């Protein structure tokens, strides 16, 4: 189902996974710790991995912390936790105010943070569209920063994680990264901290970050995740395949990451099969179903997308993934207003949901609302500066607005994030061409051919560029490459292919290669766009061939003997001439 890619660039250190019993214990303990602190997403992630390890353990996992402070404060903890679970965050913080144990202190700080987030969202008006600016901040951040700074020496790994979140929200990213590093140093199983490090990860300082991270089996999962975020999809696919085969055969997270890697590699058929298998094993999981709907949308599989939308709607119609799936369904039916409505619903549920911002920008582009599209893409970049789709969307928008300098900047950013994607490189080449920077355009098109120009767009653009420059030999070479590619993968555009045949026929006529010219002229007759031109060139070729045959054959005009000139050997003397009277 998930083939192992042949690459040795990155691999999982499977020796770290030799003791599966200890790994399962770690994951169960991590899930318990996270549930005690309200970190439900990380708890669910750890429980999923633990469930996929098919080993039975004795009931020796500690479910209750034996710290004397926690046992003394247990009643306050129970009251605070029940208020937290019912989303009464300020009330939870009140009951935990004087608690000092690690669990209670974290829950108090986390409650204050979420209380500020709740007020921030309540103060915001309904999202009318992407033109609304997100200027409202969490008012508790400075208070939390001061509180955590005061007690920094006594913080545990979970509180360091929360300290990092607060600093990141205050745009203190370097300080936040240091807090997340300390968090994984103290609690290496806290996946939330690893994810935040990946978001702040810089390839420039890779060696430094590797040195600061603990040598724990969790680092293999982190490396695979970073490879995915850095668009190193072949390497990510290999690492997740090894993890899947070795110990996590049924993990929803691992299976989803494998399917996502196939999607990023544009192997849509395999990705669809992978998601179908995932839905059989985990029929009620909605995570990543929006990505599955994107694949069905690209492949225009309307019945399957309709079924997926109904399935997600029945499970939970108020999930962001469900809203995105339904939006994709309406978009495929060309109901762009309804699609935007569901993307806006997703953003009401989670204003930082990246896919909704990016896809809503695409919908605004379909409706020719360029200003709204630009704002949607900008919001997506604000959520995740590494979202190459948003950068690429901005480049396309400014290209439509005939602002190639702006397009060049945004396409450059997209290409930097996904350096081996031919689409990004071709878009850069087209911008350079519009700016009359011909040499850079040629380099871009050649680079696109080198990384895998599947559709032959770069070859066609390079051929057209050489044609405009009247470098006909080079244009001929690339046009011939394009027509051969079209014969293999099928005709993508009859206008482009017929135009290539027309150029080739005319080029060979000018070079007096009439056999080749006739072959391409006949192919021109197969397309309505160039049928008349093909017939004209065939007649011209026929005439030129006849003229060439006439001029190449000598004409034998033989005279009769009576009209032959006298031999030059005969001398006629005037004395021998006799005149009659």
CB count within 10 Å of CB 409 equals: 15
Residue 351 has pLDDT above 70, yes or no: yes
The per-residue pLDDT for 304 is 94
Residue 555 has pLDDT above 50, yes or no: no
Counted domains in the chain: 2
Which of 200, 227, 254 corresponds to the end of one domain? 227
pLDDT confidence tier of residue 53, bands split at 50, 70 and 90 = confident
The per-residue pLDDT for 435 is 92
Dihedral sign of CA atoms 518, 519, 522, 524 in order: negative
Residue 566 has pLDDT above 70, yes or no: no
Which burial class, exposed, middle or buried, applies to 169 when counting CB atoms under 10 A from its CB (0-12, 13-18, 19+)? middle
Q: Decide if 526 is inside a domain.
A: yes
Residues of the chain above pLDDT 90, percent = 48
Read off the CATH number of the domain in which 104 is found: 1.25.40.10
The per-residue pLDDT for 455 is 79
CB count within 10 Å of CB 556 equals: 5
pLDDT in tens, 473-493: 999 999 998 888 877 776 567
The per-residue pLDDT for 558 is 43
Average pLDDT, the chain: 84
Q: Decide if 232 is inside a domain.
A: no
Residue 553 has pLDDT above 60, yes or no: no
pLDDT confidence tier of residue 425, bands split at 50, 70 and 90 = very high
Could you tell me the residue range of the domain that residue 130 belongs to? 14-227
Residue 105 has pLDDT above 80, yes or no: yes
Q: Decide if 132 is inside a domain.
A: yes
The per-residue pLDDT for 120 is 83
Please give the residue that has the higher pLDDT: either 452 or 3. 452
Which burial class, exposed, middle or buried, applies to 348 when counting CB atoms under 10 A from its CB (0-12, 13-18, 19+)? middle
Determine the average pLDDT of the residues in 546-556: 66
Please give the residue that has the higher pLDDT: either 202 or 262. 262
Which of 227, 252, 275 corresponds to the end of one domain? 227
Please give the residue that has the higher pLDDT: either 548 or 280. 280
Q: Decide if 524 is inside a domain.
A: yes
Say if CB 530 and CB 498 are below 8 A apart: yes
The per-residue pLDDT for 10 is 61
Q: Decide if 137 is inside a domain.
A: yes
Q: Decide if 335 is inside a domain.
A: no
Q: Decide if 213 is inside a domain.
A: yes
pLDDT confidence tier of residue 93, bands split at 50, 70 and 90 = very high
Determine the average pLDDT of the residues in 333-341: 94
Q: Decide if 173 is inside a domain.
A: yes
Which of 178, 201, 227 corresponds to the end of one domain? 227
Q: Cα–chain-centroid distance for residue 191?
A: 23
Determine the average pLDDT of the residues in 234-240: 92
The per-residue pLDDT for 75 is 87
E strand or H helix at 203: none
Q: Is 456 left (phi over 0), alpha (psi -120 to 50) or beta?
A: left
What count of residues does the chain have?
581
Determine the average pLDDT of the residues in 60-84: 77
E strand or H helix at 362: helix 354-366
If we measure between CA atoms, which residue out of 209, 261, 202 comes closest to residue 233? 261
Give the contacts of 42 (CB within 8 A, at least 6 positions apart). 30, 34, 190, 191, 192
Block residue for tokens 């937290």: 84
* pTM > 0.85: yes or no: no
């Amino acid at each position: 189902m998930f083939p192992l890619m042949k690459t040795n660039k990155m691999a999982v250190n499977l020796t770290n996974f030799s003791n599966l019993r200890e790994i399962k214990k770690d994951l169960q303990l991590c899930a318990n710790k996270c549930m005690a602190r309200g970190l439900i997403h990380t708890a669910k992630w750890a429980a999923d991995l633990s469930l996929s390890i098919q080993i039975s353990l004795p009931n020796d996992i500690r479910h209750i912390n034996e710290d004397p402070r926690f046992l003394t404060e247990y009643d306050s903890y129970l009251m605070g936790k029940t208020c937290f679970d019912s989303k009464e965050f300020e009330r939870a913080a009140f009951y935990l105010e004087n608690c000092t144990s690690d669990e209670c202190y974290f829950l108090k700080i986390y409650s204050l943070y979420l209380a500020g987030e709740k007020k921030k969202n309540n103060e915001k008006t309904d999202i009318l569209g992407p033109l609304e600016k997100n200027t409202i901040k969490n008012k508790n951040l400075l208070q939390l920063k001061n509180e955590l700074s005061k007690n920094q020496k006594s913080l545990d790994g979970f509180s360091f994680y929360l300290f990092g979140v607060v600093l990141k929200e205050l745009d203190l990213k370097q300080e936040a990264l240091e807090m997340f590093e300390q968090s994984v140093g103290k609690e290496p199983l806290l996946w939330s901290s690893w994810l935040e490090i990946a978001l702040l990860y810089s390839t420039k300082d890779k060696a430094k970050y590797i040195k600061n991270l603990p040598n724990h089996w969790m680092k293999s999962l982190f490396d695979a995740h970073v490879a995915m975020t850095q668009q190193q999809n072949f390497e990510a696919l290999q690492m997740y395949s090894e993890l899947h085969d070795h110990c996590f055969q049924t993990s929803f997270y691992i299976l989803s990451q494998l399917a996502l890697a196939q999607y990023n590699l544009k192997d849509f058929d395999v990705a669809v099969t992978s998601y179908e298998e995932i839905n059989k094993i985990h029929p009620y999981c909605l995570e990543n179903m929006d990505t599955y709907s994107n694949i069905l949308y690209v492949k225009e599989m309307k019945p399957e997308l309709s079924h997926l939308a109904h399935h997600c709607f029945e499970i939970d119609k108020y999930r962001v993934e469900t809203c995105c799936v339904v939006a994709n369904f309406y978009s495929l039916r060309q109901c762009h207003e309804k699609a935007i409505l569901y993307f806006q619903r997703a953003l009401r549920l989670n204003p930082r949901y990246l896919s909704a911002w990016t896809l809503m920008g695409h919908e605004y582009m379909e409706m020719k609302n360029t200003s709204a599209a630009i704002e949607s893409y900008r919001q997506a970049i604000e959520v995740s500066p590494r979202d190459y789709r948003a950068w690429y969307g901005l480049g396309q928008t400014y290209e439509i607005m005939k602002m190639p300098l702006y397009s060049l900047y945004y396409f450059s950013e997209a290409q930097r994030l996904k350096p081996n994607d031919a689409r990004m490189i071709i878009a850069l080449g087209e911008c350079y061409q519009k700016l009359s920077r011909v040499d850079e355009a040629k380099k871009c098109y050649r680079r696109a051919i080198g990384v895998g120009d599947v559709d032959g767009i770069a070859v066609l653009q390079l051929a057209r560029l050489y044609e405009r420059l009247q470098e006909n030999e080079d244009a001929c070479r690339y046009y011939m490459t394009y027509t051969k590619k079209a014969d293999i993968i099928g005709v993508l555009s009859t206008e482009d292919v017929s135009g290539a045949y027309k150029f080739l026929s005319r080029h060979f006529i000018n070079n007096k290669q009439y056999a080749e010219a006739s072959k391409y002229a006949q192919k021109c007759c197969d397309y309505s766009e160039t049928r008349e031109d093909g017939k004209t060139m065939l007649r011209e070729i026929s005439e030129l061939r006849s003229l060439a045959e006439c001029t190449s054959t000598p004409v034998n005009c033989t005279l009769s003997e009576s009209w032959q000139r006298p031999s030059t050997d005969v001398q006629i003397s005037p004395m021998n001439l006799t005149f009659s009277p």
